[in-house]
Amino acid sequence: MKRSDRLVSLTNYFLENPKEHTSLPYFSDKYGAAKSSVSEDLAIVDRVMQEEGIGHLQTLPGASGGVSFIPGYSMENGNRFIAELCTTMEDPARILPGGYLYMSDILGDPRMVNKIGRVLASAFSNLEIDVIMTVATKGIPLAYAVASVLNVPVVIVRRDPRVTEGSSVSINYVSGSSRKIQTMVLPKRSLHDNANVCIIDDFMKAGGTINGMISLLNEFNANVQAIGVLAEADDEEDERVVENYTSLVKITNVDMKQKTIEVHPGNVADRS
Amino acid sequence: MKRSDRLVSLTNYFLENPKEHTSLPYFSDKYGAAKSSVSEDLAIVDRVMQEEGIGHLQTLPGASGGVSFIPGYSMENGNRFIAELCTTMEDPARILPGGYLYMSDILGDPRMVNKIGRVLASAFSNLEIDVIMTVATKGIPLAYAVASVLNVPVVIVRRDPRVTEGSSVSINYVSGSSRKIQTMVLPKRSLHDNANVCIIDDFMKAGGTINGMISLLNEFNANVQAIGVLAEADDEEDERVVENYTSLVKITNVDMKQKTIEVHPGNVADRS
């Protein structure tokens, strides 16, 4: 295979297999090319990926040497996307009774979801994460988008146990905004002991639901490594029960009467 | 930008923007390259993508001419993946009470989910599809995987209405296997009139749930263009209320006593 063909094939391979360690001989065999040629190919792919702000190739030397693609959305790409997101979300037609915001169109657009996932995954790319956890329903697409980039599995907490998941562990928790006692369930098979978990959800007000997930993780002896949300409601900061989270956007000053709303970049923009 | 760099950048662009029509001048400007050079680049990308069995570039000539990437998983790639899936699913440890099968590990693995999505999307790539519809919870990741490939939005039917989605339409339906009357809800804003819909779900026994979704779509004057499921339970064929569906695998002969199970390729393998 010629270099030009190899570059197309390699780019596709890395995007499909993020964070996967692959040896140089694998590529030499696949393409019938010398290791030195493959090394040159990899240098080109690495450089262009960095220039485009989508990630880089990590090379390990030695006998067990090889290469893996580390996805990373550049701050520039990330901030531009967050600014667009703020504008989209400030549309007054989104305001629903109770100060909630209609976001189903954003969460229903796979390309939006994939970009949100990339920004969150980039914020967590230096952490050791074994699994992404979310709660049904709205957080699910975001959880998969983050998990696709970090190449780890997703576990889904439910509010009702299902026969199709086997035995499960459940806890009760107090919902932050409604002060109601609710139940959360996670199948026993979902998590191994001492798993490093990243919690992802779409929206955080006081943080009761996320706090519930943390309690549930304690039952599994798991470690909460990171918490990422698409949007946080700034108004509830006094009552917030969760700390150390990463948000893409912050919703403030929802005025039901005037039908106005402000959306600002969340704390993910503060990270470097 | 040199050809080698452009090839990496173009491959990334097309994989990120499937089914999106882009004009040649856009690439000429972006790369500072002559249109003829870009055309040659595109020919290389197209050829390699076809050889790798991941899709092809569709070029439209003329003033409004341009190019779009049509993802398509080759039959060879698809059948190899389905064969692996059958082996994975035949593990007797998956058998749960009631003849259900534990599939949360498969549905929790983003790479598995993305491959399932690619096979289903390839089966539907010639149809006009405006939106993917699924029902909470397990179908959601599959729906997004298909939607990412076809570059269309996802709408999620719920069993309970939520305050965060505005006004909604609900129907009652009879669950095929349990014969219970259940409710399904879809927010009014989710679908426009005459939308062309593809229904995606993880598992189909008698098909009551999918039939419910079809009834709900009638309320929205929508057209059901395709139905795709990961797994169908073959034993329920006599009672099946849904026709014209596409399945990746078919589960047969679940023997609770002997702890055995057979999984065969579904009808997607019959298509060409």
pLDDT value for A202:
95
Q: What is the per-residue pLDDT for B177?
A: 62
Strand, helix or coil at B146?
helix
Q: Which of B12, B113, B155 is opposite residue A54, by nearest beta carbon?
A: B12
pLDDT, position A177:
63
pLDDT band at A126 (very low <50, low <70, confident <90, very high): confident
Residues 6+ apart with CB under 8 A from A254: A95, A99, A101, A233, A235, A260, A261
Which residue of A141, A164, A165 is in closest CB contact with B144? A141
pLDDT, tens only, A84-106: 999 999 998 888 877 778 898 99
Which of B44, B48, B51, B204 best tests the A interface by mutation, with the highest count of A CBs <10 A?
B48
**The predicted structure's pLDDT at residue B174:** 82
Kindly indicate the confidence band of residue A78, based on its pLDDT and cuts at 50, 70 and 90: very high
A105 touches chain B (CB under 8 A): yes
Phi/psi for B124 (5° steps) reads -105, 10
d(CA A144, CA A133): 9
Chain A residues with CB-CB distance to B11 below 8 A: 7-8, 11-12, 15
A43 touches chain B (CB under 8 A): no
| Distance between A5 CA and the closest CA of chain B, angstroms | 6
The predicted-structure confidence for B133-179, as pLDDT tens digits, reads as follows 999 889 999 999 999 999 999 999 988 766 667 788 899 988 766 67
Q: What is the pLDDT of residue B62?
A: 74
Q: In this predicted model, which residue has the larger pLDDT, B264 or A272?
A: B264
| C-alpha–C-alpha distance, residues B68 and B59, integer Å | 7
Contact B8/A44, CB-based, under 8 Å? Answer: yes
Q: Average model confidence (pLDDT) for chain B?
A: 90
Q: Is the pLDDT of residue A182 over 90?
A: no
Question: Band of the pLDDT at B68, cuts 50, 70, 90?
Answer: very high
Contact residues on chain B for A111, CB-CB shorter than 8 A? 16-17, 148, 151
Q: What is the CA radius of gyration of chain A?
A: 21
Q: Is the pLDDT of residue A140 over 60?
A: yes
Q: Say if residues B13 and A52 touch (Cβ distance below 8 Å).
A: no
**B184 in Cβ contact with B173 (< 8 Å):** yes
Mean pLDDT for the stretch of residues B66-73: 91
Which one is predicted more confidently, A60 or A4? A4
Question: Nearest CB to B11: which of A11, A104, A151?
Answer: A11
- The arithmetic mean of pLDDT across residues B21-36, rounded, is 94
A-to-B residue pairs, Cβ atoms closer than 8 angstroms: 161
The domains found in chain A, sorted by start residue, are 3-71 (1.10.10.10), 75-270 (3.40.50.2020)
Side-chain half-sphere of A14: how many Cα atoms within 13 Å? 30
Please give the share of chain A, as a percent, with pLDDT higher than 90.
67
Reported as a single tens digit per residue, the pLDDT across A200-220 is 999 998 898 999 999 999 999
Q: Which has the closest alpha carbon to A107: A201, A240, A170, A232?
A: A201
Q: Name which residue leads in pLDDT, B33 or B239.
A: B33
Partner-chain contact B165 A48, CB within 8 Å: no
Q: How confident is the model at residue B237 (pLDDT cuts 50, 70, 90)?
A: low
Interface check for B100 against chain A (CB to CB < 8 A): the answer is yes
* Ranges A199-203, A241-245, B84-88: which has the least confidence: A241-245
